[in-house]
């Protein structure tokens, strides 16, 4: 995947878990990546140094992705720093909380929708001019990769209905974007992880994780490092230049389409 070398890859939500694993993998293949988080982590400088030592480079940006003005400033800062955007990865998202239908109010709905839906919409809108320029000036396609979820198909666990619905929305709108921007040589795809052992499941003990593993044909939870190469595949024109509008399931056989 040597066509990732020197590419500017903007990643939302990338200081831990799947996002950080993706950043490290892409940097190891020569890319410049953004590390982003709502809060500044105490060890962020050490993380940046470790990524820079992999062969690429990284910079940190503190961003509230629920605030469109903050997203706009982030994109402007990244472009000023790097000169453009070749790949956008929409990774930021989360459950927010578990609530049953009767407990869902307007404020909770907005919190989930802003984090999982509006953030992705804002970033695509803001990055489109730079992605178009990248695709028009080079022999490769620009790429947008969004992180969906197996929950978009299963409906999610108890109290996760809004989260699951927001991920289903993300799957669908990426297909719409893929159709709309195919002639501009911008590809839109989704990675839908299954049950991955990240902070998302930090509230579960080993016994609970063992029960979850029984529903996975491979018999275990996935890891963030196992997700990372899929980002490299979709970011690389050489590897996936004719792939757009797809949902790639990385889940140990937990869901088979």
Residue 60, classed as helix, strand or coil, is strand
**pLDDT digits over 59-86, tens only?**
999 999 999 999 999 999 999 999 999 9
Interval 109-148: pLDDT, tens: 999 999 999 999 999 999 999 999 999 998 899 999 999 9
**φ and ψ at 166, to 5 degrees?**
-65, -35
pLDDT tens digits, one per residue of 143-158: 999 999 999 999 998 9
Distance CA 53, CA 55 (A): 6
| Residue 210 pLDDT | 75
Residues 163, 170: Cα–Cα separation, whole Å: 11
Which residues pair with residue 145 across a beta bridge? 89, 189
What topology is assigned to 2-250 in CATH? Rossmann fold (3.40.50)
In 3D, which of 72, 69, 43, 68 has the Cα closest to residue 60? 43
**164-171 contact pairs (CB < 8 A, 24+):** 166/93, 166/112, 166/113, 166/115, 166/116, 166/117, 167/93, 167/116, 167/192, 169/116, 169/117, 170/90, 170/116, 170/117, 170/120, 170/146, 171/247
**Which position has the token pair 């590419």?**
7
CA–CA dist 84, 209 (Å, integer):
42
Cross-strand bridge partners of residue 254: none
Does 199 have pLDDT greater than 80? Answer: no
Q: Residue 226's closest CA among 203, 199, 195, 189?
A: 195
The domains of the chain are located at 2-250
The per-residue pLDDT for range 159-191, each reduced to its tens digit, is 999 999 999 999 999 999 999 999 999 999 999
Model pTM score: 0.94
- The dihedrals phi and psi of 164, each to the nearest 5 degrees, come to -60, -45
> Residue 212: pLDDT above 90?
no
d(CA 205, CA 199): 12
Q: In this structure, are residues 86 and 134 in contact, taking their beta carbons and an 8 Å threshold?
A: yes
Mean pLDDT, residues 27-31 taken together = 96
**Percentage helix, strand, coil for the chain under 3-state DSSP, each rounded to 5:** 50, 15, 35
């Amino acid at each position: 995947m040597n066509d990732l070398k020197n590419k500017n890859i903007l990643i939302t939500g990338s200081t831990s878990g799947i996002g950080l694993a993706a950043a490290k993998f892409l940097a190891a293949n020569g890319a410049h990546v953004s590390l982003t988080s709502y809060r500044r982590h105490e060890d962020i400088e050490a993380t940046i140094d470790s990524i820079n030592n992999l062969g690429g480079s990284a910079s940190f940006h503190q961003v509230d992705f629920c605030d469109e003005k903050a997203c706009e400033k982030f994109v402007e800062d990244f472009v000023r720093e790097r000169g453009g955007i070749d790949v956008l990865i929409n990774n930021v998202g989360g459950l927010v909380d578990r609530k049953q239908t009767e407990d869902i109010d307007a404020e909770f709905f907005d919190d989930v929708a802003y984090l999982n839906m509006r953030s992705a919409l804002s970033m695509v809108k803001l990055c489109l001019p730079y992605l178009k320029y990248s695709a028009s000036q080079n022999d490769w396609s620009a790429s947008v990769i969004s992180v969906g979820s197996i929950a978009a198909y299963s409906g999610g666990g108890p109290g996760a209905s809004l989260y699951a619905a927001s991920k289903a929305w993300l799957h669908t709108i990426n297909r719409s974007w893929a159709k709309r921007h195919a002639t501009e040589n911008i590809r839109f795809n989704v990675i839908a992880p299954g049950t991955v052992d990240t902070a998302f499941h930090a509230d579960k003990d080993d016994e609970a994780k063992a029960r979850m593993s029984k529903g996975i044909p491979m018999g275990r939870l996935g890891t963030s490092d196992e997700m990372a190469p899929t980002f490299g595949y979709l970011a690389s024109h050489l590897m996936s230049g004719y792939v757009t509008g797809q949902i790639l399931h990385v889940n140990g056989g937990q869901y088979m389409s």
